[in-house]
Chain A
Amino acid sequence: AQSVAQPEDQVNVAEGNPLTVKCTYSVSGNPYLFWYVQYPNRGLQFLLKYITGDNLVKGSYGFEAEFNKSQTSFHLKKPSALVSDSALYFCAVIRNSNYQLIWGAGTKLIIKP
């Protein structure tokens, strides 16, 4: 069965430090991977996706993610965190023959000034 794991419920980072939000997946076939961000009481905003090609994907707001096929991971990163990055981050995967996005449980990112 397809699944996505975000092993950390919460990540705390000081402003200006690099941040990493972890995501691992389990899916047969070729996965398409996505990161979305959700601010309080709001919908989900698209950050970036991996379809094929370069394993390092750059997205919105300075975020990037690295696809690692051998480790089945797709960790979200940012070199220098901002307080405004504080939000809930979701990783999602879809198999290339399936319509359904499978979501992780989310990771709450807290950036402290």
Chain B
Amino acid sequence: DAGVTQSPTHLIKTRGQQVTLRCSPKSGHDTVSWYQQALGQGPQFIFQYYEEEERQRGNFPDRFSGHQFPNYSSELNVNALLLGDSALYLCASSWGTGAGNTIYFGEGSWLTVV
């Protein structure tokens, strides 16, 4: 049973570029959330997707956008990259959107913006 898988694991981009990160949820899960974790800090919620729609969004600018596909996989897109976007981006999945549902995380994608 595969867990949450993310790609790429590491990438380097320059300021102003665009990046796409990908996530496949744990088998049987239909809900995907994205988090940003800066070095030495806790994760910050970006947004959640369920039934191919963005259901909730954290305090992130519109440069951050996402998509969920019919097979429940998801993409996170960040446009006009800033140095401050350098972080570990974590994808998490769960079954349904219930608040008590356990959320499982992938290993993350390390983004460095230079």
Contacts and interface: CB of A to CB of B under 8 A. Distances in A.
Interface of A: 32, 34, 36, 42-46, 49, 51, 90, 92, 94-106
24 contacts: A34-B103, A36-B105, A42-B108, A43-B4, A43-B90, A44-B90, A44-B92, A44-B105, A45-B105, A46-B102, A46-B104, A49-B102, A51-B100, A90-B43, A95-B99, A98-B56, A99-B33, A99-B55, A99-B97, A100-B45, A103-B43, A104-B42, A105-B42, A106-B41
Interface residues of B, number: 23
Contact of A96 (B42, B99, B103, B107): B99
B106 A106 contact: no
Contacts of A43: 4, 90, 105-108
Contacts, number: 59
A61 B55 CA distance: 33
Interface in B3-59: 4, 33, 41-45, 48, 55-56, 58
A43 B3 CA distance: 12
A55 to B, nearest CB: 16
Contact of A90 (B42, B58, B106): B42
Q: Which 8 A-B pairs have the closest CB atoms?
A: A103-B42, A99-B56, A44-B105, A43-B107, A43-B105, A51-B100, A100-B45, A96-B99
Contacts of A46: 102-105
**Secondary structure call for the B interface:** loop
Contacts of A103: 42-44
Contacts of B42: 90, 92, 103-106
Contacts of B106: 43
Nearest to B44: A103
B105 A98 contact: no
A22 to B, nearest CB: 15
Given A32-B99, A44-B90, A94-B99, A101 B107 contact: no
Contacts of B97: 99
Contacts of B43: 44, 90, 101, 103
